[in-house]
Amino acid sequence: PQPTVSIKDHTIEASLPTGQSVTVQLYGATVTSWKSNGQEQLFLSEKAHLDGSKPIRGGIPLVFPVFGAPPKNHATSALPQHGFARNSHWEFLGKSSSESMERDHGQGDLAVKLDFGLSHTMLSKEFRKTWPYEFGLVYSVTLTKDALETTLQVRNEGKQNFDFQVLMHTYLNVEDISNIRIKGLESKTYVDKTRNATSHTEASPALSITQETDRVYQDLDPTVPVVVASAADDKPVFSITREAFNDVVVWNPWIEKAKGMADFGPDEAYKNMICVEAGSVSTWQTLEAGDSWEGGQSVKSRI
Ligand code: BG6
């Protein structure tokens, strides 16, 4: 048996003969579902807009070319928070499936890759005017038996350099926020966005989330996994490794902020999600004319 891929209503769905599946909306190239081990692995708000009227609250929205509110007097200043990638219509470039190079593992090593593209010619007039660079993005979503890999290639197709930030705003589905710990951040410097963007050093080897949390951890070794572990038995629930992404944002809106977001629901759902967002956001990547850059993450679940 081969992977199956279906395209319907601006939605691409792929599944493996071993049961895993992924759903991607062309709007934002947002992954809205990843099923593995018979369970949904990503959190999607019940009130998320899936009609292209608003960035999707949940799944994996892509942040590009600016993270958060754009700085003043910068090329991105007139863009919305988190840029335009998550609120633009992407095109589906096609699928490819592959057997892993490792031998003797049978169909379990089958993988399916979905490619999506966004270029300057596809942007709305407004976005083109506010960020007038000639660029090409290729976003690849690869589903394997035990992981979901997402990589973004950024190309500068123009004659001018441009600066960008990028982030995979991954909403992980958790049963109960009080039962998880985040590991792999100890001794790292982070900017706390809930405390006037002040800098701190992470003291905890296993961070528990007990309040609104919005932290940008910097200068991580991308090959060292950030692990969401069960507090009960320390077993990994998710493990995230990265390529060329040195930063990881940890975000949970908690009670008041969750209530305040019109597209977040139910109110209590802040207990069922944790955003662990891999990216390059604490500095700017400068891309020279003709150059390209690539970064990505691999999320494994219950390994
Ligand atoms: C996180 C930011 O990445 O995204 C938070 O660090 C922000 O500050 C959150 O609140 C959600 O952003 P938005 O634009 O999707 O509401």
Ligand-binding site membership of 302 (annotated): no
Answer yes or no: is pLDDT of 200 > 80.
Answer: yes
Distance CA 287, CA 93 (A): 23
Structure tokens at 115: 């490619």
Tens digits of residue pLDDT in 150-177? 999 999 999 999 999 999 999 999 999 9
The residue with tokens 């992404």 is 245
pTM of the model: 0.97
- Is 10 tagged catalytic? no
Tens digits of residue pLDDT in 225-267? 999 999 999 999 999 999 999 999 999 999 999 999 999 999 9
Ligand-binding site membership of 181 (annotated): no
> From the alpha carbon of 63, which atom of ligand 1 is closest?
3
Residue 216 C-alpha from the chain's centroid: 14
Nearest CA to ligand 1 atom 6: 214
Contact of 36 with 45, CB cutoff 8 Å: no
- 12 sits in the region (left: phi over 0; alpha: psi -120 to 50; else beta) called beta
- Is 169 tagged catalytic? yes
Q: Which of 214, 264, 282 to mutate to test the pocket of ligand 1 (most atoms within 8 A of CB)?
A: 214
Tell me the domain boundaries of the chain.
Answer: 4-301
Q: How confident is the model at residue 108 (pLDDT cuts 50, 70, 90)?
A: low
Distance CA 281, CA 168 (A): 11
Can you state the percent helix, strand and coil of the chain, rounding each to 5?
10, 50, 40
Mean pLDDT over 77-86 rounds to: 98
275 C-alpha to center of ligand 1: Å? Answer: 9
Share of the chain above pLDDT 70, in %: 97
Would the CB of 81 count as within 6 Å of ligand 1?
yes
Q: Which one of the listed residues 157, 277, 288, 294 is annotated catalytic?
A: 277
Q: How confident is the model at residue 103 (pLDDT cuts 50, 70, 90)?
A: very low
Tens digits of residue pLDDT in 175-186? 999 999 999 999
ipTM above 0.95, yes or no: yes
Q: Which of 63, 84, 169 to mutate to test the pocket of ligand 1 (most atoms within 8 A of CB)?
A: 169
pLDDT score for 1: 86
Ligand-binding site membership of 81 (annotated): yes
Q: Which residues pair with 292 in a beta bridge?
A: 155
Q: Name the 3-class secondary structure at 175.
A: coil
- The tally of CA atoms less than 13 A away on the side-chain side of residue 175 is 8
**CATH 1.25.40.420 matches 4-301:** no
Share of the chain above pLDDT 90, in %: 94
> From the alpha carbon of 81, which atom of ligand 1 is closest?
14
pLDDT score for 302: 85
